[in-house]
Amino acid sequence: MLDDADDDIHPLFHGAPKGLEFRKLRKRLVQDVRDAIETYGMAKPGDRWLVCLSGGKDSYTLLAILHELKWRGLLPVDLLACNLDQGQPGFPATVLPDFLTRMGVPHRIEYRDTYSIVIDKTKPGGTMCAVCSRLRRGNLYRIAREEGCSTVVLGHHRDDILETFFMNLFHGGRLASMPPRLLNEEGDLFLARPLAFVAEADCDRFAQAMNYPIIPCDLCGSQEGLQRAQVKKLLDDWEARTPGRRQVMFRSLMNVRPSHLADPELFDFAGLVTAATTALADSENSSQLSAER
């Protein structure tokens, strides 16, 4: 897919390493994102996507790969990058606008001080993530509507999806995760995660190799003891002992068998009948029909 002449197809790829390992990584990322978009029907010709950027390795990778797919004619949508500056102390507000302007990427930078609201509504010792996420999502939906976008695109990858699954399993009492594609409650916007098939390690290697200006992820204070951090450590340990374990677990999310779980709303356990019972019922029905004739 990638020829030497294609290395700098977009300013986001200027200075890309020439080595074989990076080219293989880049090709894998392009294929994984393309597969996710096609598998979950994320893109419709003429759509406009709001690509949300935090300044972390995942969102930089997402932005670059989406632009590559668009350049290759494999993503027939318009892309608008967006960063929501939520007023966290120490946030380097000029990094993303400077980067996006230099790269020639259409973008919108929005400032909303949701951080103060989060601090006000979080009890002492509580975690900020849930409230912060709700406020961020609401603002992103608003921006998408204002910009005429049909889809809000987030940079959650395969490992995020797995971690959320186990958090729900261990702490939420349900089998659920982050869906690759979702319709919002109002029914007017889609939410998409094109990195659904991408490993976090690949995002890290790509963003580091491209020397993107990474913004630290602990701007609102690194809260120790978070459930997600504990789950991440558990998955890291499993992966270290059995390489490839994450990918196997992710495939299980795509291979659900309701009859082998325990939810009576998904499968009619009470309605199960044996072959003999079915045969007897068929015989009785047949005899009744014969008698009526």
Contact 145, 78 (CB under 8 A): no
Q: Give pTM, 2 decimals.
A: 0.88
User: What was the pLDDT predicted at 291?
Assistant: 59
- Rounded Cα distance between 205 and 16, Å, is 12
End-to-end alpha-carbon separation of the chain, Å? 69
pLDDT digits (tens, 9 = 90+) for 69-123: 999 999 999 999 999 988 888 888 899 999 999 999 999 999 988 777 777 777 7
pLDDT digits (tens, 9 = 90+) for 210-246: 999 999 866 554 454 578 888 999 999 999 999 999 9
Phi, psi dihedral angles at 122 (to 5 degrees): -95, 125
- Rounded Cα distance between 67 and 82, Å, is 14
Low-confidence winner among 2-16, 24-38, 108-122, 249-263 (lowest mean pLDDT): 2-16
Superfamily of domain 4-217: HUPs (3.40.50.620)
Alpha carbons within 13 A on the beta-carbon side of 16: 27
pLDDT digits (tens, 9 = 90+) for 159-171: 999 999 999 999 8
10 Å CB burial of residue 110 (0-12, 13-18, 19+) is: middle
